[in-house]
Amino acid sequence: MDGIIPLFKERGMTSHDCVFKLRKILGTKKVGHTGTLDPEVEGVLPICVGRATKLAEYITSEGKEYVATVTLGTSTTTEDATGEVVSKKDLQTAISEEKLVAVLDKLTGEIEQVPPMYSAVKVNGKKLYEYARAGQTVERPKRTVQIYALERLDSGELTAANPTFQIRIACGKGTYIRTLAVMIGEQFGLPAHMATLERTKSGFFEKADCLTLGEIEKQVSSGNFDFLQPLEKGIFNMPQLELDDTLYKKVLNGVVLETALFGAPSGNLFAMMRNGKLVAIYKPHPTKTQLLKPEKVIELRDGPLN
């Protein structure tokens, strides 16, 4: 069984919970997720099954979209609604829609973030949340992330009585939406936190494509596996190079190939294709610019091909 499942992870479950349940539903151990979603966050979580697990890292690195609710005036230990309140400061004056939009524009593009203490980022071989749970605070390295789009979804001015607003975020890998909420508050000199979050898109997959665990279980019980998407959807942004019979046999055996065989392809990774099916992932040779070397052979084969 090979393919990608566009799962809608429900609130209250960890990503590992989803993997564990799908292993039981599908009757296979080779199942993996494509990036952790916190238990209180719901949304799109592509799941890789069988050979598709070799593609998990590429799907994880693709862009994502979220819808978040941000509350100004209150900060928490975890930067979201699950943490203990750290500080409070009511809005003294109303914040106009224009001022909020200006701040969102300012935070669009390439920005620097400091990962929250309650996160899985490692410092000195230890996860930050392990320090946080022990009551320790450590210096955290800044990271550069990409915000492709940041827009408000509701309208009206923000006041002490109504300090909450909703935004849509399209972003690159490694972005912390919790931290982004805090950064928005800082622009107004206010504490802030992320009240709710939903991931609406991950790579190729959108919310409309997804099924819940319960829906998947029903389909499997009826013998319907149409929810399994082909491996090729996991490399939709990767340059694709078509193989003839001779090159196909070489690629299955992991042979280094000359770049000139494919013209002058540009990119960091290449999907080697045969009749519309993914065979392998290749990348430029680190020292010999005229060569491509295999990173992963995806297609199964029975022994070497001559």
Closest CA to 68 of 211, 173, 164: 164
How do beta strands 109-113 and 205-206 pair? unpaired
Number of H helices, E strands in the chain: 7, 18
**C-alpha to C-alpha distance for 2 and 259, rounded to whole angstroms:** 30
Residues in the chain: 306
**C-alpha to C-alpha distance for 113 and 146, rounded to whole angstroms:** 10
Chain centroid to CA 91: how far? 34
Closest CA to 194 of 66, 111, 79, 39: 79
DSSP 174-210: T--HHHHHHHHHHHTT--EEEEEEEEEEETTEEGGG-
Tally of CA atoms within 13 A in the half-sphere of 125 that contains its CB: 0
Catalytic residue among 2, 38, 80, 245: 38
Rg (CA), the chain: 23
Assess whether 244 carries a catalytic annotation.
no
**C-alpha to C-alpha distance for 264 and 285, rounded to whole angstroms:** 14
- Which token pair is 206? 């959108």
Closest CA to 51 of 28, 18, 27: 28
Alpha helices in the chain (DSSP H): 15-26, 56-60, 97-106, 128-133, 177-187, 213-221, 245-252
Which residues are marked as active site?
38
